Amino acid sequence: MLITLKDIKKILGGDLLFENLNFEIQPGEKIGLVGRNGSGKTTIFKLINQIETPDDGQVFIKKQANVGYLSQIPEGVAGTVHDYLKSGFSSLMTIQEKMKRLETDMQDENKMERAIEEYGKLQDEFMRLGGYEIESQIEKVAHGLHLEGLLFSPFQNLSGGEKTKAGLARILLEQPDVLLLDEPTNHLDLHAIEWLESYIQQYDGAVCIISHDRQFLDQTVEKIYDLDQGEINVYIGNFTSYVKEKEERLLAEFKAYQEQQKKIKKMKEAIKRLKIWANQANPPSEKLHKRARNMERALERMEKLDKPNLDPQKMGLSFDAEDRTGKDVIVAENVTKSYGDTPVLQGLELHLRYQERLAIVGRNGSGKSTFLKLIIGSEQPDGGEISLGAQVSIGYLPQEPLKHEDPDMQMIEYFREHVRVTEGQARQILARFMFFGYAVFQRIGMLSGGEQMRLKLAVFMHQNINLLILDEPTNHLDIDSQEVLEEAIENFNGTVLGVSHDRYFLNSCFTETAFLHEGVLHRYPRRYEEARLKWQDQLDAMKTKEEHVMKSKKPVSNISQSNKGNVHLEKEIEEKEQQLQKIEEEMEKADTTEELIELQQAKEKAEAELESYYDAWIAEKDE
């Protein structure tokens, strides 16, 4: 056993989080720790790392076991990102320093023999621990998490999200016996998430993950610890199998509870009858009284089953667009945007129509959030035009929804400022969003990310919105709240434009996907899982074309008059590329399997012809 929490009791802010809680991590296990926001998941991680102490119970960690945990954004770090990542190899750095000192001792004849012997031992240890692979390991992890462009930037110049990614990278490089990851996907784009999944799958140590990303849990864990009302229930399998098994368990428990209640009712009725019969007998029957007492004792000794909660309380969210927009909702034409000398959007085009549900995905820094800000008018494009259709009313949910609000304002004040209701009505509405009693008087600055999201959604629900613009809305919501949001979007009769890295959410809520790449949108009338395969094919084709062009480039001095013969081939190539594009567009619209097969055959033929044109063009260039 690497880690054991035994009979833990923890009180936080006057509330009992758990009592007699037991938790363990064994070598090599891949565990997902799930539960509602505020249930105590992060507190368990802090107990393991001695950031928090239990009010009762014991925490055992195997001697010399290393635990990797990023408790907060790294601050006060000197040097570059590369320096920070390299500091994760502190034990190897110590060995390396000793080896350097021994190299000096080898110059001294009196110390040479002993120094060589000691150096050999240290070198073996250095090699065993991967000392000569430090740089390649740093490059591998930095590339996977998209930090390669920041390696030699001062650490203090990074954004909060970039610092968190760097902190995650450092922990991965340390390769501890136990990795504790608390919402590791929050600051990662889809490519980095998929890389992290692969890394965890191949990781030899134990991993315990707190995450609201359902697909990430499906890909990485083999056991689920469900923290529910202060107790941990264990399920073998990934997240999907856990959901199924939990439902089956709850139904079985409810059936057992109902059977026991029937038995208790019958026993109580039998006891009542025995007492009546005993008293009606003349003289009163002691034998019947004794039987009644025996049944009462049996009833008292019976271990009563708690009634399972088949319908846990969730926020009551729904959207209703009373006023519909025109057919055109958003039209963006040739939109450009740069920050300093860095271009972000370069001729972006978008035509979003009534009731369309479009997801925009792309790497971090590709301009997704920037484009949303241009649409709502909080920023202006450098060029091009963005216009909204008739009667469009926007509900915009940014990643930090209350960032620019007065932190001292009470929650109920904020709500009533945006929704004209009495205090009593406001409290009733906020209770539907899991804000009960005096919680509605909390100050905005004290709210968690999930609470801010729920408050903003409560406001949206009572405004006449017909265009939802969502920027990473699932980041701070627990899984129950995500499911409520997904259902509300599904039933919404307006238009939805969203940015997300949550693949489950993307596939559930959006029927179209657009990839933002090099400042331009590439749109597919498909859900994310299908669209990403099409997009990868397009990326591969773009890369192949670029390689062909690069191979064909030659210095100006080598270009002869004979190259004028290439004009005909270039025209053929251009026409064939246009033909291919047209075929692919028709394939997107194909309704039948037969039509799709015909188009696929036409595509393969056109691709073969295009390849032969490329070969001929390159051959002529080389002559």
Domain match, 348 and 434 both: yes
Q: Is residue 418 part of a domain?
A: yes
Q: Which amino acid is at 526?
A: R
Q: Is residue 92 part of a domain?
A: yes
Q: What is the pLDDT of residues 328-360, one digit of tens each?
A: 999 999 999 988 778 899 999 999 999 999 999
Q: What is the pLDDT of residues 400-453, one digit of tens each?
A: 888 889 999 999 999 999 999 999 999 999 998 888 888 899 999 988 888 898
Q: Name the domain boundary from 99, 131, 160.
A: 160
For 238, counting Cβ atoms within 10 Å of its Cβ (0-12 exposed, 13-18 middle, 19+ buried), the class is: buried
Q: What is the pLDDT of residues 240-287, one digit of tens each?
A: 999 999 989 888 988 998 999 999 999 999 999 999 998 888 888 888
Q: Is residue 37 part of a domain?
A: no
Residue 37 near residue 448 (C-beta atoms within 8 A): yes
Q: How far is CA 527 from the centre of its chain?
A: 18
pLDDT of residue 104: 85
Domain match, 359 and 449 both: yes
Question: Would you say residue 565 has pLDDT above 70?
Answer: no
Residue 465 near residue 395 (C-beta atoms within 8 A): yes
More confident residue, 202 or 308: 202
Q: What is the pLDDT of residues 579-616, one digit of tens each?
A: 777 777 766 665 544 454 455 556 667 777 777 776 67
Dihedrals φ, ψ of 226, to 5°? Answer: -100, 110
Q: What is the pLDDT of residues 112-131, one digit of tens each?
A: 888 888 888 888 888 888 88
Percentage of the chain exceeding pLDDT 90: 51
Domain match, 293 and 351 both: no
Residue 514 near residue 522 (C-beta atoms within 8 A): yes
Q: Is residue 396 part of a domain?
A: yes
Question: Would you say residue 83 has pLDDT above 60?
Answer: yes
The mean pLDDT of the chain is 87
Task: Decide the pairing of beta strands 206-210 and 30-34.
Answer: parallel
Domain match, 492 and 560 both: no
**CATH number of the domain to which 455 belongs:** 3.40.50.300
pLDDT of residue 617: 66
Locus of tokens 């929804």: 401
- In the chain, the number of structural domains is 4
Q: What is the pLDDT of residues 205-233, one digit of tens each?
A: 999 999 999 999 999 999 999 998 889 99
Q: Which of 157-161, 294-298, 542-546 has the highest mean pLDDT?
A: 294-298
Q: Is residue 191 part of a domain?
A: no
Domain match, 346 and 493 both: yes
Q: Is residue 437 part of a domain?
A: yes
- Going by the DSSP 8-state scheme, the letter that residue 302 receives in this structure is S
Question: Would you say residue 505 has pLDDT above 60?
Answer: yes
Q: How far apart are CA 84 and CA 93, in angstroms?
A: 13
- Going by the DSSP 8-state scheme, the letter that residue 421 receives in this structure is -
- Going by the DSSP 8-state scheme, the letter that residue 306 receives in this structure is P
Domain match, 524 and 563 both: no
Map 143-191 to HEC letters: HHCCCHHHCCCEHHHCCHHHHHHHHHHHHHHHCCCEEEEECCCCCCCHH
Q: Cis (ω within 30 of 0) for the bond into 312?
A: no
Domain match, 396 and 494 both: yes
Residue 42 near residue 182 (C-beta atoms within 8 A): yes
Domain match, 515 and 571 both: no
Question: Would you say residue 559 has pLDDT above 50?
Answer: no
pTM, two decimals, is 0.76
Q: How far apart are CA 407 and CA 66, in angstroms?
A: 39
pLDDT of residue 594: 45
Question: Would you say residue 555 has pLDDT above 70?
Answer: no
Domain match, 368 and 435 both: yes
Q: Is residue 31 part of a domain?
A: no
DSSP, residue by residue, 215-233: HHHHHH-SEEEEEETTEEE
Expressed as residue numbers, the domain containing 375 is 328-530
Domain match, 482 and 581 both: no
Domain match, 415 and 372 both: yes
Helix (H) or strand (E) holding 279: helix 239-280
Domain match, 592 and 449 both: no
Lay out the sheet containing 206-210: strands in order across. 67-69, 178-182, 206-210, 30-34, 223-228, 231-236
Q: Is residue 201 part of a domain?
A: no
Residue 162 near residue 142 (C-beta atoms within 8 A): no
